Structure 1
């Protein structure tokens, strides 16, 4: 295989594994079939992809290696029927408990680059593999810690709050308004936390889906206050993609000099 072909394949693989901190030209997302449901034998299907247009399958599937489903009582729930195709991954969750579920893809790891025989080598993997696979005395060695979290919230019956509690790791959304209680014309409030503390001055991007079918992106860019809070007043119903990311020097792994933390969620706004 030619070097250019191998590099292209490697880049595509990295992008398919990426979360919100991926290249700006593409957006990674989860799309639930619905977020507010009721009745007996309730299921939700979730699509997962990386694409230019929200929420349209035209680039790469999102890998589900870091998939975690949390039931309303805080216990782990089992996703079913997982599959990955050419443009998207998908899975189902049976909502056996009343209340709010959290469906998340969470990844953490290290990126490294260094010089070898005049060429730049790149590596990505877990801290456990780092010591065995990356030469610690390599010239121009640069190591970055990556933390990424992508979530959607789905409620069967009455909304509940157990799954909304932050973990204190990386960049997280701490809803003030319940994420399954959003309606046009109402202001919704949220907070961003970084390692459990308010993420002040953070840039937040909000985009309504369906950009393939309109001339303007209609992107909202908001900035969090001192308490990490921000508010959104929804003008139209639909599925909205909310994303934020941060770079700092607070890596939890000694080999890394930089930390990149990213977060995104998909919220459904009803009429």
Structure 2
């Protein structure tokens, strides 16, 4: 008899698609108390923090003003009982619809430099501020765009796919294998898009929780194929943090869309 050990929302426990990280950088994560539930009265509590050790709050809390909850039907639901402490923030989500819920934050940043009246000017901020603060036709303009996404997924009754519909903006996960259906030792597939196009060659890192108790992080690195697909096999059940990075830069261009 073959016993399948189900991964409790592996990736979903901390799917962080973020800007570049140094080897000892702090990591942002969202950790739900459950990832698969059933019944009309289902609730989930989520911890949110930025820490040195994965899923162990030891640095500072994550701000909740940028966190959104997307229900299976695409509607936005509010965070309930939200609070922020010294090392972590917490909030509750009432799962009043069957299907998969997306909980996370997304933001875009542009860095730019240009020459104005013989002086080098610099900018760092949102795409909206870039459009209004950086002169049109700026000389020697160079831009770097970073898009940060930090998400987790929770399913009630049965997984669904509506929350994975791509927007065509930034880095996005369009899973072939649902994050709440991953099984230890079985091959699974995620697909990544950048601005709606396959992320060919993208490197993705999977790190299991509990790293503070191990001599090494235990990370698994895989690269996406031409269609943006990443095939991976996770060795054991548990919560995993998934990280990948995309940065785009242009010289002599006005910048991203």
The residue that corresponds to 2:4 in the other structure is none
Q: What residue ranges of structure 2 are gaps of 5+ in the alignment?
A: 1-15
Q: Secondary structure at the match of 2:245?
A: strand
Contact 1:19–1:28, Cα closer than 8 Å, also in 2: no
Contact 2:70–2:76, Cα closer than 8 Å, also in 1: yes
TM-fit CA distance, 1:39: 2.3
Taking the TM superposition and a 5 Å limit, the aligned residue runs for 1:1-271 are: 20-21=18-19, 23-24=21-22, 25-112=25-112, 124-130=124-130, 143-249=143-249, 255-256=254-255
Q: 1:214/1:67 Cα in 2 relative to 1: closer, same or farther (>3 Å)?
A: same
Normalization by structure 1: what TM-score? 0.76
1:163-190 C-alpha deviation (Å, 9 max, x unpaired)? 1221111111110011111121222111
Aligned mates of 1:174, 1:147 — CA distance in 2: 16
Total equivalences in the alignment: 237
Aligned mates of 2:189, 2:227 — CA distance in 1: 12
Normalization by structure 2: what TM-score? 0.80
Contact 2:141–2:254, Cα closer than 8 Å, also in 1: no
Q: 1:167/1:188 Cα in 2 relative to 1: closer, same or farther (>3 Å)?
A: same
Contact 1:20–1:243, Cα closer than 8 Å, also in 2: yes
Q: 1:232/1:127 Cα in 2 relative to 1: closer, same or farther (>3 Å)?
A: closer
Q: Which moved more, 1:86-95 or 1:105-114?
A: 105-114
TM-fit CA distance, 1:66: 2.3
Q: 1:137/1:27 Cα in 2 relative to 1: closer, same or farther (>3 Å)?
A: same
The root-mean-square deviation of aligned C-alpha atoms, in Å, is 3.0
Q: Which has the higher contact order (CA 8 A, sep 6+)?
A: 2
Aligned mates of 1:48, 1:113 — CA distance in 2: 34
